[in-house]
């Protein structure tokens, strides 16, 4: 069987609307060029579509025409490496999903430990940013909330009271171990994040978890977050103004 026939058969087994690349095709190291040519021929036949360099998908045909993969499928290759999560969506896209802003950004930020040069995939503008800690399936949601705390003052049309309620509810849902992990991750973030998380933990009566954060801060530094005692009772204890 020729390499073209082999690739065509493999592509046929890939679900429609699912993105794939060379890593998903069973090819040898000396078959890359032949595979590229085979994929190029499949593109010309309309069997597959190219969404980015080395990334393709089988379009789903509907009565309204061809359907392209949804956003989660388009971004999947940038969030996972060999099935393991190594990145997560952050920035205004995440804050919109969390209900912190109504603004829909034109560029999607993807955070990972190694900053990557990302540009566009399937019409989506993507920007790579560096995460503060290694990203895993277990911690990426926590990191997203810490990012929101970091950017809180800069989030467009954010309602501070609603944002603090969201943070408190999220922390209440955590187990003791998860809460400890949350604090550990926060220690890698800027001081204003540690101060805000510490103040929230103190207000929720988790003083033991807040102690390590307090010890990591300069007692003479103020944090201008636009939050006072009416929004967060413990704000002044953490020099938050």
H or E element that contains 187 = none
Backbone angles phi, psi at 240, to 5 degrees: -90, 125
pLDDT of residue 27: 85
Length of the chain: 241
Distances (CA, A) of 192 to 160, 183, 198: 15, 13, 10
**124 lies in some domain:** no
Q: Which of 61, 79, 98 is the last residue of a domain?
A: 61
Among candidate residues 37, 61, 85, the one where a domain is terminated:
61
Give the Cα separation of 3 and 112 in Å (integer): 35
Q: Which residue has the higher pLDDT, 68 or 93?
A: 93
Contact present, 238 and 195 (Cβ < 8 Å): yes
Residue 174: per-residue pLDDT: 96
What integer is the mean pLDDT of 65-72?
A: 76
CB 225 within 8 A of CB 153: yes
3-state secondary structure of 28: coil
Q: Into how many domains does the chain fold?
A: 2
122 falls within a domain:
no
User: In the predicted model, what is the mean pLDDT of residues 32-40?
Assistant: 92
pLDDT at 72: 79
What per-residue confidence (pLDDT) applies to 121?
74
Tens digits of residue pLDDT in 144-160? 999 999 999 999 999 99
128 occurs within a structural domain:
no
Q: 43-47, 93-97, 134-138: which range is least confident on average?
A: 43-47
100-124 mean pLDDT:
85
Q: Distances from the Cα of 37 to the Cαs of 28, 41, 43, 58, 110, in angstroms?
A: 15, 6, 10, 17, 31
Higher pLDDT pick, 89 / 3? 89
Which of left, alpha, beta for 83 (phi over 0: left; psi -120 to 50: alpha)?
left
Q: How does residue 124 score in pLDDT terms, banded at 50, 70 and 90? A: confident
Mark which of 30, 45, 61 sits at the end of a domain: 61
Range of the domain at 41: 3-61
Please report whether residue 235 resides in a domain: yes
């Amino acid at each position: 069987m020729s390499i073209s026939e082999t690739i065509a058969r493999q592509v046929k087994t890939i679900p429609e609307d699912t993105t794939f690349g060379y890593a998903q095709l069973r090819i040898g190291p000396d078959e890359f060029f032949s595979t590229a040519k085979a994929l190029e021929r499949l593109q010309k036949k309309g069997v597959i579509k190219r969404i980015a360099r080395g990334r393709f998908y089988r379009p789903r045909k509907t009565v309204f025409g061809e359907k392209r993969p949804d956003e989660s499928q388009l971004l999947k290759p940038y969030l996972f490496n060999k099935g393991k999560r190594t990145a997560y969506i952050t920035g205004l896209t995440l804050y919109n999903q969390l209900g912190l802003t109504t603004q829909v950004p034109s560029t999607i930020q993807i955070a990972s430990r190694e900053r990557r040069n990302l540009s566009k995939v399937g019409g989506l503008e993507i920007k790579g940013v560096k995460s503060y800690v290694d990203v895993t399936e277990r911690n990426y949601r926590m990191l997203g909330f810490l990012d929101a705390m970091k950017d809180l003052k800069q989030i467009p049309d954010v309602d501070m009271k609603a944002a603090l309620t969201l943070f408190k509810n999220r922390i209440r849902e955590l187990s003791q171990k998860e809460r400890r992990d949350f604090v550990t991750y926060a220690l890698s973030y800027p001081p204003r994040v540690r101060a805000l998380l510490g103040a929230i933990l103190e207000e929720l009566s988790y003083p033991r978890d807040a102690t390590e954060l307090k010890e990591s801060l300069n007692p003479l530094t103020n944090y201008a977050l636009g939050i006072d005692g009416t929004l967060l009772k413990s704000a002044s204890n953490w020099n938050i103004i």
